[in-house]
C-alpha cells in the first residue's frame, strides 16, 4: 500500500458516521438469501477483503446493496463475462429496508481528497480495499459510495458490525427475466 493510500485511509477517521434509513436493492444469485453476505468472503470485491487475496484474519464479508434497482442490475451486468450470459439466470432482485446507526457517507470522495475514478477503478482495488479495511476497522456498519455504473449510489453493509437497534429487512423479492429463453 502506497503512502498516499495510507494517508487517504487515515482521513476516514475524521469523517463522522451518520444514521441512515431507506430502501436499498440487491441482485443476487437465488441460491443465496437476500441478506446472505457469505459469498463475499470467497472473493474480494471493491469494498470487502476476501479469502482469495487476504488471510482469514484480514477478510470480512460485505453485503452489496444499491440505492436504486437500476444500479443493482447494472452492477451485476457490468461484471458478467459476455461469453457467460447464462450467469444472469437464476437471479433475484430483492428490496431491503435498512435502519442503520453508523454509516460512513463517502458519496463525495473529493471531500476526503480522493478522485472518484481512483476509488471506483475497474481493476485496481488497492484504494477501495484500504478504504474498506479502515472503515471496517473503525467499526462502521456500512459505507455509502458512488456506484461504478454511474447510475446512483451503493450501500455496502458489514453485517458482522451491525449495532443493536440496526436492522435489514427484506421487503420483497422477484425474479427478473434478464435473458431470452432458448428457442
At 154-173, the pLDDT tens digits run 999 999 999 999 999 999 99
CA distance 154 to 168: 15
pLDDT digits (tens, 9 = 90+) for 125-138: 999 999 999 999 99
Question: How many residues appear in the chain?
Answer: 183
Asked if pLDDT for residue 117 goes beyond 80, the answer is yes
178 part of a folded domain = no
180 part of a folded domain = no
Closest CA to 65 of 42, 97, 109: 97
The reported pLDDT for the residue numbered 122 is 92
The reported pLDDT for the residue numbered 81 is 66
The reported pLDDT for the residue numbered 85 is 63
- Please indicate whether residue 37 or residue 115 has the higher confidence score (pLDDT): 37
> Which whole number is the average pLDDT over 115-120?
88
Burial class (CB in 10 A: 0-12, 13-18, 19+), 3: exposed
Contacts of 130 (CB under 8 A, 6+ apart): 1, 5, 6, 8, 9
Asked if pLDDT for residue 175 goes beyond 80, the answer is yes
165 part of a folded domain = yes
CA distance 128 to 136: 12
154 part of a folded domain = yes
183 part of a folded domain = no
Asked if pLDDT for residue 48 goes beyond 70, the answer is yes
Asked if pLDDT for residue 91 goes beyond 70, the answer is yes
166 part of a folded domain = yes
179 part of a folded domain = no
Asked if pLDDT for residue 115 goes beyond 90, the answer is no
90 part of a folded domain = yes
The reported pLDDT for the residue numbered 84 is 56
Q: What is the pTM of this model?
A: 0.90
pLDDT digits (tens, 9 = 90+) for 1-46: 578 777 877 777 788 899 999 999 999 988 999 999 999 999 999 9
Count of structural domains within the chain: 1
Percent of the chain with pLDDT strictly greater than 70: 92
The stretches of the chain forming alpha helices (DSSP H) are 3-11, 39-42, 69-77, 116-119, 126-138
Q: Would you give the end-to-end CA distance of the chain in angstroms?
A: 51
CATH number at residue 151: 3.90.175
Range of the domain at 14: 3-172
> Which whole number is the average pLDDT over 68-72?
94
Amino acid at each position: 500500500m502506497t503512502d498516499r493510500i495510507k494517508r487517504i485511509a487515515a482521513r476516514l477517521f475524521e469523517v463522522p458516521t451518520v444514521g441512515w434509513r431507506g430502501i436499498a436493492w440487491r441482485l443476487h444469485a437465488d441460491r443465496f438469501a437476500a441478506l446472505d453476505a457469505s459469498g463475499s468472503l470467497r472473493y474480494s470485491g471493491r469494498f470487502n477483503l476476501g479469502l482469495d487475496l487476504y488471510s482469514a484474519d484480514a477478510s470480512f464479508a460485505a453485503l452489496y446493496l444499491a440505492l436504486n434497482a437500476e444500479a443493482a442490475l447494472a452492477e451485476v451486468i457490468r461484471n458478467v463475462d459476455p461469453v457467460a450470459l447464462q450467469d444472469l439466470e437464476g437471479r433475484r432482485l430483492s428490496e431491503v429496508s435498512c435502519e442503520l446507526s453508523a454509516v460512513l457517507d463517502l458519496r463525495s470522495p473529493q471531500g476526503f481528497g480522493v478522485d472518484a475514478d481512483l476509488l471506483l477503478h475497474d481493476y485496481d482495488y488497492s484504494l477501495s480495499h484500504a478504504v474498506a479495511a479502515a472503515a471496517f476497522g473503525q467499526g462502521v456498519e456500512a459505507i455509502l459510495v458512488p456506484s461504478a455504473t454511474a447510475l446512483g449510489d451503493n450501500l455496502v453493509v458489514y453485517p458482522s458490525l451491525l449495532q443493536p437497534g440496526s436492522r435489514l429487512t427484506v421487503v420483497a423479492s422477484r425474479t427478473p427475466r434478464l435473458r431470452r429463453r432458448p428457442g
